[in-house]
Amino acid sequence: MDKTWNNKAWFLVLPVLVLVAFTAVVPLMTVVNYSVQDTFGNNVFFWAGTEWFEELLSSSRFWEAMVRNLVFSFIILAIEVPLGIFIALNMPKKGWGVPVCLVLMSLPLLIPWNVVGTIWQVFGRSDIGLMGYYLNAIGIDYNYVQDPFDAWVTIIVMDVWHWTSLVVLLCYAGLVSIPDAFYQAAKIDGASRWAVFRYIQLPKMQRVLLIAVLLRFMDSFMIYTEPFVVTGGGPGNSTTFLSIDLVKTALGQFDLGPAAAMSLVYFLIILLLSWVFYTVMTNYDAER
């Protein structure tokens, strides 16, 4: 192909480059700048080199938070994806039920995250919360403030409540795009319910599922607001995720250097994991 190379075309993307530079690159560079320096206030900085990075990567606090994050993401993906598919499959395809279901499904997504946290914080309290009180009343010893297991259950249930809708809506969009002829042909071919799911519905949902898994993974790996509001990272450090740890370091202790180093590592981890996810899933797609 004969293409005309014209470097003037770069001017056309210049506005975007400038915009991205100000919104993303410049702040990121500021963080890079902090991460290699130390300060004791008064805006006086000292060169620290890779000290913060070394300290971070050798601290058990960081790795524990990281493991908590991974476990959390794994659990909510394992629950939200199958549950989302299941709900999407059972949603009505036509009639008055469609708008009703769509609105119900969108509700949790419309609530601000800190409000979601507050709702569950109150909902789960064993003294006045609707759920907490009655769980205790029927003899289940539930107290998320003191019991790490209860705290985890609360946060996971909250996240499932909050985000399963997203998976549902994405899957539903995939499902309604399947023409009726496919289901009719499947009937003619004598396909079982499972075969219809496996060979018609799942392949059609595959692309949106890829997006759903990616979004839910990134989001859950960055989770901050809701556990911060509900448990504040406790009891102990049992629900302290990377983001909560980061804020504690940066704003609680005003250790800008270590916090910046941590941010960068955190950013790279997300970037890396997202890339791995995406590559694995698109390759799998291409193979099939």
Partner 1 sequence: MARIDVNHVRHSYLPNPRTDADFALREVHHTFEDGGAYALLGPSGCGKTTLLNIISGLLHPSHGQLLFNGRDVTNLSTQERNIAQVFQFPVIYDTMTVYDNLAFPLRNRGVPEADVDRKVRETLEMIDLASWAKKKARGLTADQKQKISLGRGLVRSDVNAILFDEPLTVIDPHMKWVLRSQLKQLHRRFGYTMVYVTHDQTEALTFADQVVVMYDGGIVQIGTPAELFERPRHTFVGYFIGSPGMNVVPVAIEGRTATLGSQRIELPGVPKASAGAVELGIRPEYVRLGSDGMAVSITKVEDVGRHKVVRAKLEGREIAAVIGEDETVPAEPKVRFDPAGINIYADSWRVEMGA
Binding site residues, partner 1, CB under 8 A: 179, 181-182, 184-185, 187-192, 195, 199-200, 203, 288
User: Please, which residue, 81 or 191, has the CB nearer to partner 1?
Assistant: 191
Secondary structure (DSSP) of the chain = ------GGGHHHHHHHHHHHIIIIIHHHHHHHHHHTEEE-STT-EEE-TTHHHHHHHT-HHHHHHHHHHHHHHHHHHHHHHHHHHHHHHHS-SSSTHHHHHHHHHHHHHHS-HHHHHHHHHHHT-TTT-HHHHHHHHTT----TTT-HHHHHHHHHHHHHHHHHHHHHHHHHHHHHTS-HHHHHHHHHTT--HHHHIIIIIHHHHHHHHHHHHHHHHHHHHT--HHHHHHTTT-STTTT--HHHHHHIIIIIS--HHHHHHHHHHHHHHHHHHHHHHHHHHHHHHHH-
Which CB atom, from 61 or from 198, has the smaller least distance to partner 1? Answer: 198
Nearer to partner 1, 45 or 182 (CB): 182
- Smallest gap from residue 181 Cβ to partner 1 (A): 5
Closer to partner 1 by CB, 43 or 192: give it.
192
Q: Shortest gap between Cβ of 283 and partner 1 (angstroms)?
A: 15
- Nearest approach, Cβ of 195 to partner 1 (angstroms)? 7
Nearer to partner 1, 89 or 102 (CB): 89
Minimal distance, residue 180 CB to partner 1, in Å: 9
CB of 187 to partner 1, least distance (A): 4
